[in-house]
Structure 1
């Protein structure tokens, strides 16, 4: 009886040992799995490089879907950045799918009431330890600001007796403007740098029908996205060690 119990104990121990080896092999296979979404830093593109490789960027909701509206458009081209906001004819991401970059830009130019253009730099803000990036700002310096207003509304707000009198007062101030139907468009040149965009490190990757969007969160409920190839891994915010010539650290 003792011999049978000992034999059974040896058999059970052998089964458990073999089972443990099998589990370890399975675990090793999972750990060794590879792919474009494995989280390796080299798989992701720094956002500074992204602005150089992708021209048109869209500001929309933090959970983008086919019905998400385009709140604003940013265009990066050869060191220049342009922002288009207060867009009267808002596009959805589903509509963006069918447009070229050139068509998106033309739509923004024709429907935006607030436009800013200038040479850009990317300013890194460090975390509380001074080691990593907590936020990155897109700054434009000596930029052109174009603002469109309803002429009748401004005339009423001015308290003057007529639109002609209001226009005469604007001319006397020396402001640069033009009249376009019922709108008055002011153009100013600003010398002080302006922050047109702030982004943090949370990555977003979303496919809508057959179009893939990737980007980073740029506010509590706002995303900054561009259209990418379906195999694209994603963007990451620049580290303080970035060697991009447009990146500065806290205004240095």
Structure 2
């Protein structure tokens, strides 16, 4: 279990090696260097995000300027070519990164699973979108392949009111008549389905982020203007980069249709 220590929050230098933006040419790539410390890293020193998902199983969606009070907005758990996404967590049930520090990976998954109202599970691929020149990676998308399992939970009373039926019993009977797979749990109704179309879970399109919260180092990549996908890593870990089009990882596709 990760222990919290007293004292000032230690801020790590954010090291960014951006291979995510369009380049004027292959000879002049856009690069953002570290503010302090060693600045002669090459792409080979970093871990490709496709390999990162295989090496680090638990990834947290949170702020791209993470602090001890940043929320765990969603969780992605990778294992043997599969990913489980836990999302749509009601605000009051979201853990903070400080609270996550006190939990093992298994404990963190169990806590998030209890409050996630949308869970998707299946085989995944990472699909590269090329830049305007077709030479470099513009962004990479985490995709659930077809025939993934989808579990979503709603407030039963809200659905019944929206249905226009005369009672909850009549609404439940209508679900049974349609053949929906569902389960009633107190005031909630949970639907389970197998979806036959791929699902885009996240699109990674920003630079590297590394931040130490107490004695835990979080590292990952930005997935938008205000959001990042981070994993807990060793303090000496250098960082992640997006895959280039010449990646050899079998889970990566290029502009798959």
TM, length-normalised to structure 2: 0.83
Find the counterpart in structure 2 of residue 18 from structure 1: none
Q: 1:170 aligns to what SS in structure 2?
A: helix
Structure with a larger share of its residues in helix: 1
CA-to-partner distance for each residue in 1:118-157, whole Å, 9 max, x for gaps? 1000100000010000100011111111000010111111
Determine which structure has greater relative contact order: mean sequence separation of CA pairs < 8 Å that are 6+ residues apart, divided by chain length: 2
Q: 1:232 aligns to what SS in structure 2?
A: coil
Runs of at least 5 residues in structure 1 that lack an aligned partner in the other structure: 1-34
> Which deviates more, 123-132 or 80-89?
80-89
Find the counterpart in structure 2 of residue 155 from structure 1: 160
Find the counterpart in structure 2 of residue 67 from structure 1: 69
**Paired residue for 1:209, among 210, 214, 230?**
214
**Paired residue for 1:39, among 38, 41, 60?**
41
Displacement over 2 Å in runs of 4+: 35-39
Find the counterpart in structure 1 of residue 185 from structure 2: 180
- Equivalent positions of 1:225-236 (< 5 A) are 225-236=230-241
Q: CA deviation at 1:39?
A: 2.4
1:92 and 2:89 matched: no
Q: CA deviation at 1:36?
A: 6.2
1:101 and 2:94 matched: no
1:196 and 2:198 matched: no
Contact 1:126-1:134 at 8 Å conserved across structures: yes
Contact 1:36-1:231 at 8 Å conserved across structures: no
- Separation in 1, partners of 2:39, 2:235: 12
Q: CA deviation at 1:106?
A: 0.7
- The alignment of Structure 1 onto Structure 2 pairs a total of residues equal to 218
Contact 2:206-2:224 at 8 Å conserved across structures: no
Runs of at least 5 residues in structure 2 that lack an aligned partner in the other structure: 1-36
Contact 1:134-1:201 at 8 Å conserved across structures: no
TM-align CA RMSD: 1.1
- Separation in 2, partners of 1:172, 1:208: 51
TM, length-normalised to structure 1: 0.84
Q: 1:164 aligns to what SS in structure 2?
A: helix
- Separation in 1, partners of 2:195, 2:217: 36
**Paired residue for 1:52, among 51, 54, 65?**
54
**Paired residue for 1:110, among 110, 114, 126?**
114
- Separation in 2, partners of 1:200, 1:159: 43
1:131 and 2:131 matched: no
**Paired residue for 1:83, among 85, 103, 108?**
85
- Separation in 1, partners of 2:172, 2:206: 46
Q: 1:36 to 1:235 in 2, by over 3 A?
A: farther
- Separation in 1, partners of 2:246, 2:148: 28
